[in-house]
Chain A
Amino acid sequence: MEATLRIGARHDNGLCKLRIEGELTIYNALQIRDGLLEHLASSQDVEVDLGGVSEMDTAGFQLLLAAKREGARLGKTVRYVSHSPAALEVIDLYNMAAQFGDPLLISARQ
């Protein structure tokens, strides 16, 4: 079974709504990076819906971190929303809820 991934995008008034469906892991890291780059280039703000993330590892986490920094560098915003439990777990472990917690993150552990 190949690692599954689907990146859905919806553009709305300069806001790009992305949804990552599947594994946010090293196996898909190249593909996700390219998707993020593409949408970041074409939109002012990007909102990434992590609700469909079934698995996440450090490579995935690192991508989220890099995308967020990239947005800031370009004067754009990158936001993560609707974190799935798998995504939350990693973000929690890495103590990064403050950075990734927009708009409102409810920790899975609470």
Chain B
Amino acid sequence: MSMDQALQTYIEESHGLLEEMEAILLRLENEPQDDETVNAMFRAAHTIKGSAGLFGLDAIVAFTHVVENVLEEVRDGALSVDGELVELLLECRDHIGLLIAVVAESGGALDAAQTAAGEALAGRLRARRGGAPAHAAGVPAIHESPVAASGGGPVEGDCWHLSIAFGHEVLKNGMDPISFIRYLSTIGDIVSLAIDDSELPGLEEMDPEACYLSYSIEFRSEADKQTIEDVFEFVREDCRLRIFPPPSHLAAFVERLEHASGNTDMLGQLLIEAGILTGHELETALRAQDSMAAGDTGTRPPIGEVLVRDGLVQKEVVDVALEKQRQIRDHKAQEARFVRVSAEKLDELINLVGELVIAGAGASLLARRSGDAALHEANSAVANLVEEIRDGALKLRMVEIGETFNRFQRVVRDMSRELGKDIGLEIGGADTELDKTVVEKIGDPLMHLVRNAMDHGIEAVEARVAAGKPAKGTLRLNAYHDSGSIVIEVADDGGGLKKEKILRKAIERGIVGPGQNLSDSEICNLVFEAGFSTAEQVSNLSGRGVGMDVVKRNIQALRGSVDIESAEGRGTTVRIRLPLTLAIIDGFLVGVGKSSFVVPLDMVLECIELSEADRQIAAARSYVNLRGEVLPFVRLRDEFEIKAPPGKRENIVVVQYGGQKAGFVVDELLGEFQTVIKPLGSVFRHLKSISGSTILGTGEVALILDVPALLQLGVARDAQRLVRET
């Protein structure tokens, strides 16, 4: 007899069973059949499924399982038979026949159309089923043979300790401890075995067919606790089994507990999940707990205590599990204190609050004009509340930066391995909060800085040791609040920037004039200059230039600034300063003709009046003399093609951006102004010189100037003019 022959038998047998099924179905359609006949039909499907499993014909098992479930309900009277069901079952019978022909006979698989047809049938079958238990609905998995287990490998000489007291009935049930012990030795080594016969009565008093023995076994195995327990599954109800893990498992258990998924906060379940306790052991302990609660003392001891008392789990492990349980519960409690709100809804709210601020400003203006003191007062109260609401609404969108920082753990780990360096990541100020929209945008620049620091900042191990530094380099991410901004630092304890080389290179590239006198800080910050390219790999500083200008631009786009500080040989710190939120801007309001513009306040250096003399000179050129310095300027009137003629007076708002100073020529200075930014509609996206808009209290729109873009436009035009003039 071979498996091939057995398969042949299976095919023939299945044909016979399918014919029987068909015959019964046809009879069933016309008249009710007796129980045995219906059962025979169920059995046919059951048999086809069962044997298919033996041959590993999973497709047949899966489909027949659904049929079997329906037939089971028919047999049990839970499902009544009608013409439609018979028709459906006949189709299923044919599909099984097809499966047998294709899968069993030819060893193939159904094609897509056939598979789909089968799925449709299974779907219809499931639909016919009434209140079927959920478990039966799924397709059964072929039960895999027990696989030797997870869990830490045993240390040499480190044994499981098994204590088994067999119940009196086991021998009569045909269960011989000898067999279990032999089986045990197939999944490990029995190091020693001792028999306890203290329960064995005298020869005359004993029941020779009963079992009185207990066993203590020292067992060395890589199997896990469940696998070991399963050896005794057939006598599980008839014996007292204790499985003590090897001492070396203690550490592994503790570790597994610490990494528990947090899906459960029940102590017993936690221990089961970590493979420390088996389901059966927990049930026994819970029963013991119940009986203690029902006993004389009437108190219910904690389950942990019961487990330790019964020696099922070591006290140290229970302590760790309790701690983990506390953590999970804390976490849950914390979750319960939070409400999840979609970011979209928050944005909507903040938008509305923005409108409210603007509308409030309008109302205040009217109230002031009306001269009604009481109205004015009531309005200021409203305005104050609106301001509080605005701040509160913005705070809702604040998130901790810790999560962003933590993502770098993996990056640092992987990259230090790649680079062959030993680098640790330290995180500080993880609980510092900032606007979610800022967090989303800061990831890329941070990644760039972290990579740069690891690749070019921190030296190779040998170099570090030679320099008398610890072999392990440290990268530090830190965040803190500083006067309305958030500061994020990326610091390394690497070699630092080589200022001399930077300066030399900057001069080579024409970024710095040969005679220019620069401070250390100014030199360091040269690495952010666009022209500071790094085609040539010079020591570890050159890399720092890679894309640093891009980083700077990204940060400035967030209305932030970046600064670098470095001590040669000791390390480098890049400091990013960002506004806490992108939704609000501290602006400086200026007027040109009837139009209003907002200049971001942090870029405004000073305002000066454009004197009559300057105006005349300035008419011909685009710079003025500011205390002996050349100050290029941009006329907003020209820039935005405002037709209204200039007023009697003109002013210059001096702005600074990226170490570059410039002026904007405007008519009126209207003062500081905090406002909510409204993004421009997509129609205006291409407008380079405007970054957003806001609505004034009067209902008028003010455009927010994109200072960097304006300056660049100015520079470009100057260059053109120079070309023309020469």
Contacts and interface: CB of A to CB of B under 8 A. Distances in A.
Check A-B contact in the complex, CB < 8 A.
yes
Interface of A: 26, 29-30, 32-33, 36-37, 40, 57-59, 61-63, 65-67, 69-70, 73, 90, 93-96
Contacts of B204: 37, 70
Interface in B190-222: 192-195, 197, 200-204, 206, 208-209, 211-213
B209 A30 contact: yes
B171 interface: yes
Contacts of A37: 203-204
Given A32-B208, A57-B176, A62-B206, 20 more contacts: A26-B208, A26-B209, A30-B208, A30-B209, A33-B203, A33-B206, A40-B203, A57-B178, A62-B200, A62-B208, A62-B212, A62-B213, A63-B208, A65-B195, A65-B200, A66-B200, A69-B203, A95-B192, A95-B193, A96-B195
Contact of B176 (A29, A58, A66): A58
B171 A26 contact: yes
User: What are the 8 A-B residue pairs with the smallest beta carbon separation, nearest first?
Assistant: A29-B208, A70-B203, A33-B208, A66-B203, A95-B193, A57-B176, A59-B171, A58-B177
A93 B197 contact: no
B202 A59 contact: no
Contact of A59 (B192, B195, B197, B208): B208
Interface of B: 171-172, 176-178, 181-182, 192-195, 197, 200-204, 206, 208-209, 211-213
Contact of B178 (A33, A58, A63, A95): A58
A59 B176 CA distance: 8
Q: Is the interface of B mostly helix, strand, loop or mixed?
A: loop
A9 to B, nearest CB: 16
Nearest to B201: A66
B171 A57 contact: yes
A33 to B, nearest CB: 4
A93 B203 contact: no
Nearest to A63: B208
A102 to B, nearest CB: 18
B207 to A, nearest CB: 9
A95 B195 contact: yes
Most chain B C-beta atoms within 10 Å of own C-beta, residue among A32, A58, A61, A94: A58
21 contacts: A29-B209, A33-B206, A37-B203, A37-B204, A57-B178, A58-B177, A59-B171, A59-B209, A61-B178, A62-B197, A62-B206, A62-B208, A62-B213, A63-B208, A66-B203, A66-B206, A67-B203, A70-B202, A70-B204, A93-B178, A94-B193
A36 B204 CA distance: 10
Given A29-B209, A58-B213, A95-B192, A73 B202 contact: yes
A69 B171 contact: no
Nearest to B195: A94
A90 B206 CA distance: 21
Contacts of A63: 203, 208
Contacts of A70: 202-204
A26 B198 CA distance: 20
B187 to A, nearest CB: 16
A54 B176 CA distance: 17
A58 B197 CA distance: 12
Contacts of A36: 203
B203 A62 contact: no
Contacts of B177: 58
A90 B172 CA distance: 18
